[in-house]
Chain A
């Protein structure tokens, strides 16, 4: 037996305030309670998510290869990528912090891009396998997404503080820009993905 869904009953749910609304075919429908735009499913969800995710995947390469910051001292110049930043932390003996940065800046973005890719593909194929697991995966992506901003905040503080002319200056690199863009694009991609699409063929 098919489960009773909003769609089968001719009902919609407002994603902003969770009010149940009767489905009507009308352009520019708005929630009667919170005035948010109402849609049966997020419009162009798969296409938008694919574009955002694709851009994030492309920018992921320069984000990891280009230096995120450049430290200029009297003695030498030193370029740091995200990975070498982790190595520096590891060498200075603070492995818990190194692990934290490694997870937040390298594992999380990669995991997000891969996970969203899998979800996108399976939603597009209307695959019936492991729906619950995929739903959980999506929720995980939503929760951990923001933690990738960690390195951006660390870089912004370092670049602001270390401006001692006679001693050292830190200059932000284009890698940081690309990395910030990856984080924002993946956050937006998760936002435009309609998780109900994973369940629609049930």
Chain B
């Protein structure tokens, strides 16, 4: 590995020093983040990922909200919301919603588990490095926290003419949002590559 670190945001070059013990370093020129110290162990990351997987299942298996109006009631799931758009002939919007709320988080968690489980037993998964790259890319397209607030907005708008009951999936979604952000902070790219490098040596 070359003894130089380059800031990905402004191309400034730095000499690599001894590994960080805590905190992070920032580029002196553009103040972008350069390095982050190790802030968790693989066990923690795996535990959070399994937790996220269970929450993801709950969020998809149970209704998100139930609406009661004039004696009739309607409920929808997370996938149902995407399908609703799809059936109204806005296929691309439906696909977009489905990709960013169901597929994105699912791929993110599964890839993480695929990479971390072997690392935990001191082995490298097949295609591990491509997996880590996939992970950092998919993360940018997983919008659970935005979906959560969108749901709140929808509920407020419905509440004035119907009785709405939040379902199991809504609470799971809220927890999933917290779980995923914790997971992202303990499995930053720096951290993953550090764990991966440790196995080979």
Contact = CB atoms under 8 A, between A and B. Distances in A.
B182 interface: no
- Which size bracket describes the interface of B in this complex? 35 or more
B104 to A, nearest CB: 11
Nearest to A195: B9
Given A6-B13, A158-B158, 19 more contacts: A5-B11, A8-B13, A11-B13, A13-B7, A16-B136, A20-B6, A34-B133, A35-B130, A89-B157, A97-B156, A132-B30, A136-B31, A139-B32, A151-B153, A154-B150, A156-B82, A160-B80, A168-B161, A199-B10
A196 B158 contact: no
5 tightest A-B contacts by CB? A153-B150, A160-B84, A13-B6, A157-B154, A6-B6
A15 B11 CA distance: 11
Interface string B54-90: 0000000000110101101011100011111100101
A7 B97 contact: no
Contact of B11 (A21, A159, A163, A196): A196
Given A94-B156, A136-B31, A195-B10, A156 B149 contact: no
B93 interface: yes
Contact of A162 (B2, B85, B158): B158
B8 interface: yes
Interface stretch (A52-60, A115-123, A171-179): A171-179
Nearest to A158: B154
Interface in A166-202: 166-168, 171-172, 176-177, 180, 184, 191, 195-196, 198-200, 202
Contacts of B101: 153
B152 interface: yes
Interface of A: 3-9, 11-13, 15-22, 33-36, 85, 88-89, 92, 94, 97, 100-101, 104, 131-132, 135-136, 139, 146-147, 149-164, 166-168, 171-172, 176-177, 180, 184, 191, 195-196, 198-200, 202
B60 to A, nearest CB: 15
Q: Which of B1, B94, B158 has the most CB of A within 10 A?
A: B158
B6 A199 contact: no
B160 interface: yes
Nearest to B88: A172
A153 B151 contact: yes
Contacts of A156: 81-82, 84-85, 93-94, 97, 150
Given A153-B151, A172-B93, A159 B12 contact: no
B29 interface: yes
B74 to A, nearest CB: 6
Nearest to A20: B2
Contact of A180 (B82, B96, B146, B154): B96
